[in-house]
Structure 1
Amino acid sequence: MKEYNIVVASDKNYIGFVSVLFASILANKTEDECIRFHVLANNIPLSQIEQLKEQVGSQSLSVYTITDFQKRLNTKLPNTIAVTSYARLFLSEILPDTINEVLYLDCDIIVNNSLENIFSLNMSDYAVAGVLDTLPNEKAKSNIGLKDNDIYINAGVLYVNLKKWRLDGIQNRFIDFLLQHNGCVYHHDQGIINAVLNKSKLIIGPEFNLTSNYFTHKYNYLKKRNKPFYTYEEIERAKVNPVIIHFTEGFLDRPWVIGSQHPFKNKFLEYKQASIIANEPLQSSKKTWYVKLLGYEFTHLPLIFYQVTSFALSMLSKVIKK
């Protein structure tokens, strides 16, 4: 029996999506795979934890309270990101020493196939494996000390070599980097991970973290702004048969939003029916009119329309602020 350890971090606002994720993992595992779920919980009601245990089996779920873990950072964090997100920096301390490797997943994800190929990775020379991020602009790299052609991965899916993290004292290096930047790192914990682990990252295929940008952005647009990057064929194969689908914020509404046009919306809704939020209604879109306009122009019209509108809105915003 193959045992796979999977960890997520959540608060009460996202625990329903965690349940959908768990439902998708269980639906796609093979008979010889045993899944051990780990939840880093920030103020999640006991009633919801009990629902999760009922869903996956109480022996298969471990819960770790992280409500007060911000004290360990010894610095004030920006308000632009939930403190729960930083919990992944402390995986080597929070999880038992008996776990040498773990797959970290964001809450806005579903699994679409067996995870065997991730858990079979040879990580002996690497601290983390991940998928190249899309659109990390110049600041995303330069502000954390990376060169333009350095690897920059999306932190929503991370295969972590916990044994190496412990041996190399990586958690302390994360904290040191955060303190050096006075608690304000570009792209937050994702920036910290990419900077500190710059020479110890293994690139895996886009099928292991298929974000929404792959469906809305043309290949040449992505390739021009990302070094290194995948081939056109690699991305097209991933879009047809992804292993992990990441419903990132972007021009596409996420599948739990009414009217979403995401290509894998129905997959999400299928797994939602097997989750603790099966009977909860879909949400209304919170996008403003100008975000919807920019999204339509970017995905349906020549790029110049998007660029002109974006510039005009930027100028208008500056005038209003004055």
Structure 2
Amino acid sequence: MVISTTLQQEPLVVVCGADDNYAMPLAITLYTALIHLENNCTLYLYIIDGGISKKSKERLERVIDLEHVDIHLKWITPSDLESLKNLHTLPWITVASYLRLLIPDLLPEQFEKVIYLDCDLQVEANLKNLWDQPLGENALLAVQDLGTPYVSSPFGIAKYRELGLAPHAPYFNSGVLVINLKRWRAESVSQRVIQYLQEYSQDVRLGDQEGLNVVLANEWGRLDPKWNLISHIYFYDIWDESAYKEEIGAIKQELISKPYIFHFAGGSKPWQIGCVHPQQLVWIRYLQESRWFTPIESLLWHSQWFIRYYFWQIKVLIKKVVIKILIQKS
């Protein structure tokens, strides 16, 4: 594999961003994306550095050092992070989550489109197939959000009526995007999103994802839901009744069994003890394979992790047994 900082003609361009807290999950996003690319694929990879340590960068470069892919890696340190620090943050929405708004200004002008990936993904398909999806004149391609399918949904856009949006206008998840850079630059999309986030700071629920849905309402194209299967699919039975629920219901089993990308959206992450996502142990296996850790570090980390994991499993089992006994006695 070649890790190069020399800019050449490209067939596939991917960008992501993180701070040091999400450097390890980012490694698995990239590792799983790379192992599913075909041999001799040329990839231009841009990582927006929101505070990634030198040690984590070394680990990330080790992870992506795979022989079958020609990687041209570029680390980008934003010069205008201050403009993002003024935006509203929450425990689950940090300044790093706004890094994607900098993409149009940070990537070379010669690139007219790019795939954006969140750093809490597990890729199970060839991203070249995502790249080849027809973009047309859309500002971006995305998957309609499984947990917030409409702007009027509980975690949608609070002021959608004031903003002139129809209640059933579809709402997308911004964890996996194919971005039309040419249009974003021409129409100052990022600047308009930042302006919205500042003006409606007290009403914003999901950071720049909400801002993008406001600014680009009806200006985006839908991807197959397999390209961004968020964890809400496992709570399908308690979704509010809607046309979208019926649409997803017809393909639910196929989505769960053969997704292209798992997105660990929400507070439960696979590296955390207590996560109930069915892909948790698969993610941990990818971590072992990725060489994020040296062999000795891996042995120590995974030994400790599995001790805590099985201890938690035993606690859960005991709790279930106790509850069952109490129910039988009542």
TM bucket normalised to smaller: 0.7 to 0.9
User: Does structure 1 residue 265 correspond to structure 2 residue 280?
Assistant: yes
Contact 1:148 1:227 in 2 (8 A): no
Deviations 1:42-88 (A, max 9, x none): 1211222123223324952211113x634235844234421011111
Query: What are the residue-to-residue correspondences of 1:113-262 with 2, within 5 Å?
Result: 113-136=125-148, 137-138=153-154, 140-144=156-160, 145=163, 146-182=165-201, 185-218=204-237, 221-222=238-239, 224=241, 227=244, 230-249=247-266, 253-258=268-273, 260-262=275-277
1:72 to 83, 88, 112: 83
Q: TM-score, normalized by length of structure 1?
A: 0.78
CA distance change for structure 1 residues 228 and 194 in 2, over 3 Å: closer, same or farther?
Answer: farther
Distance 1:182 1:78 in 2: 9
**Tell me, which stretches of 5 or more residues in structure 1 are unaligned?**
286-291, 297-322
1:112 maps to 124
**Tell me, which stretches of 5 or more residues in structure 2 are unaligned?**
1-8, 310-315, 321-330
| Number of aligned residues | 282
Question: What's the % identity of the aligned pairs?
Answer: 24
CA distance change for structure 1 residues 242 and 255 in 2, over 3 Å: closer, same or farther?
Answer: same
Q: CA RMSD in A?
A: 2.8
Distance 1:111 1:223 in 2: 28
Distance 1:89 1:143 in 2: 22
CA distance change for structure 1 residues 98 and 235 in 2, over 3 Å: closer, same or farther?
Answer: farther
Amino acid paired to 1:272: L
Displacement of 1:277: 4.0
Distance 2:14 2:202 in 1: 28
Contact 1:39 1:62 in 2 (8 A): yes
1:88 maps to 100
Displacement of 1:2: 7.1
CA distance change for structure 1 residues 37 and 176 in 2, over 3 Å: closer, same or farther?
Answer: same
Displacement of 1:240: 1.1
Distance 1:158 1:215 in 2: 22
Contact 2:15 2:45 in 1 (8 A): yes
Amino acid paired to 1:42: G
Displacement of 1:162: 0.8
Displacement of 1:93: 0.5
Distance 2:207 2:13 in 1: 25
1:46 maps to 54
Deviations 1:276-313 (A, max 9, x none): 1472343969xxxxxx9xxx9xxxxxxxxxxxxxxxxx
Amino acid paired to 1:27: I
Contact 1:142 1:148 in 2 (8 A): no
2:31 maps to 23
Amino acid paired to 2:241: K
Distance 2:293 2:208 in 1: 29
Distance 2:253 2:56 in 1: 38
CA distance change for structure 1 residues 184 and 40 in 2, over 3 Å: closer, same or farther?
Answer: farther
